[in-house]
Structure 1
């Protein structure tokens, strides 16, 4: 049996009858830049995220970068960010000229550890980027209390967590701004790159609106040094077709995660650590990530059995060559480094079948049974 990590083909076939007319309508109207679908999708996402403003941009990475620029973060500033995350969480900081300061994570949920954040704060700290990893939100109450105490901005990197909540509130409703990614493999994915900033701050939203069109307002008059980063009209039309299905897809992900939990408990007890859902959180399982031993051998075994897996992330950011000048060493962030050596994500997408999950877990059990036999 072949089990892919992610498969968009069945989803497209289900939506094809809605998708093609939406795309054709954009082509007929020939309004490809900041058209009516972009405006409508911005309004729909603002309402969904319980905020008053949203700005569509070209990618989640640009959403982070433009938010930092709009908050006047730049040379001389520091921004605290987890090291256990996708590269863009820190590269956006570096692109402004500010310094990313890497903090450690909680070993249970893989999101920012409050104690580490407090230890990393200095007089130069201007913001915290809270990454909602794998579909679960960081502990926003504690982080916002710390931010208020020291007059810091908080940006939620919710690229993997659209639909997640904490105490019933989604990303964007907790902080100064949240960024979203609609990369094709996300819970709500475009057919290319796309991103968004959601916020309750009208001035911040207006500045990002200007920055995404080369800092131009009115047209051809430039008071800010912006860039070209607009949500594409075709992608907005596609996302509007898919958006009404997001709640169902997220519910399917939770069902799949629960079935993985059940199977693992039955077939591989005490050998693997399934995901932990923190109190007050509703997880949307962008990834179903285990803590495993003998990962290299396990990945090879599963690949031989036709099962795709992914490692998010094998080398933490504080040890990446591009950030070597910041002076971090092996051992600087022990929980981050431990996670990077042991995490493994299993196939996860709404159309995943129960028989595929059974096969995946049976192969996991077979691998660890083999390892036990080799020890005897």
Structure 2
């Protein structure tokens, strides 16, 4: 059983009564699509981030798609982002007909190297898309300066950074808009797919609401294309409302687990996660590095431990994106990381005894290499 499935099952047992009550309350309400649970969640999620608006959508990928469209990105435009990310970041750019333009990442925190961004800005650049990866934020001050200098909006990809802060500012509040995923494994996860795009710009919010509902401004009257059927489900919204109240507790437990790893593994050959100064890491995943990563993973499998790699193939070297023309070696840090990184178990319901048992096994495996 994977670490993610186990974490989900443990969480369900811990929160079962509240989750079932959430489902029952929706079914008894008689309102199943864009009803009171979605509206309340949108208000509460926007409030948590200190922004004015939130539009709930059906998944995190479409949160980016609609965010890009609401910011005016069109076919033929360019969007600057990174290749060290989950493929959906780039799939979303492709879905609106734009071209992804990649910069490399830092070797210590695995995040966008903002110093490379200005060199790839062209007259076709319409959006800067930083990915707050693994649970901490990109260096936003210089990116915001570039945004202001060139008049290019920022759409933050916050799928892995719920509750993370950067110099006191919460992830999702530092660009013109921000996209979130509520996939079940996320720091704030639903029990199915879900997503949201947040903003403090009323015009962007109005566009998001039209785009998620066929491009309609009123029932049966389409005013904007291309529209989508991309609505957050009432059941998932009510579950997310309940879980949002526990988000800070989830983050606190993740940080406890990360500290336990630091104390227990600092004397090994593993490169442990580095938190960039000014960041408050939420450890969506606990990514480490080892030069013989594949040997470590194979050895752990003999103990029935199956760990994830986020991500084994840089987006620019995947078959579906070879047409972009990036050659091997074009993003050297990203490519090096793909050969060395893997994720240790990280979910709030992981007990101290389970954690210690895993660490002992991992240390034994590392000692044999």
Q: Is the counterpart of residue 204 in structure 1 residue 231 in structure 2?
A: no
The separation in 1 between residues aligned to 2:21 and 2:356, in whole angstroms, is 38
Matches within 5 A, 1:24-35: 24-35=24-35
Q: How many equivalent pairs are there?
A: 367
Q: Is the counterpart of residue 69 in structure 1 residue 48 in structure 2?
A: no
- What is aligned with 1:230? 231
Measured after TM superposition, the shift of residue 172 of structure 1 is 2.3
The separation in 1 between residues aligned to 2:313 and 2:321, in whole angstroms, is 12
Q: Is the counterpart of residue 273 in structure 1 residue 271 in structure 2?
A: yes
Runs of 4+ aligned structure 1 residues displaced above 4 Å come to none
- What is aligned with 2:333? 335
Measured after TM superposition, the shift of residue 368 of structure 1 is 2.6
Partner-residue secondary structure (3-state), 2:338: helix
- Residues 10 and 113 (structure 1), Cα distance of their counterparts in 2 relative to 1, 3 Å cut: same
Measured after TM superposition, the shift of residue 143 of structure 1 is 0.8
Matches within 5 A, 1:293-304: 293-304=291-302
Q: Is the counterpart of residue 322 in structure 1 residue 320 in structure 2?
A: yes
Using structure 2 for the length normalisation, give the TM-score.
0.97
Q: Is the counterpart of residue 370 in structure 1 residue 332 in structure 2?
A: no
- What is aligned with 2:99? 99
- What is aligned with 2:38? 38
Partner-residue secondary structure (3-state), 1:239: helix
Paired residues of 1:308 and 1:347 also in contact (CA < 8 A): no
Paired residues of 2:271 and 2:289 also in contact (CA < 8 A): yes
- Structure 1 unaligned runs (5+)? 372-376
- What is aligned with 2:358? 360
Measured after TM superposition, the shift of residue 369 of structure 1 is 1.9
Measured after TM superposition, the shift of residue 256 of structure 1 is 0.2
Measured after TM superposition, the shift of residue 355 of structure 1 is 2.4
- What is aligned with 1:55? 55
The separation in 2 between residues aligned to 1:314 and 1:220, in whole angstroms, is 45
1:262-282: CA deviation from partner (whole Å, max 9, x where unpaired): 00025x2xx111000011110
Measured after TM superposition, the shift of residue 295 of structure 1 is 1.1
- Structure 2 unaligned runs (5+)? none
- What is aligned with 2:288? 290
Measured after TM superposition, the shift of residue 190 of structure 1 is 0.5
Partner-residue secondary structure (3-state), 1:208: helix
- What is aligned with 1:251? 252
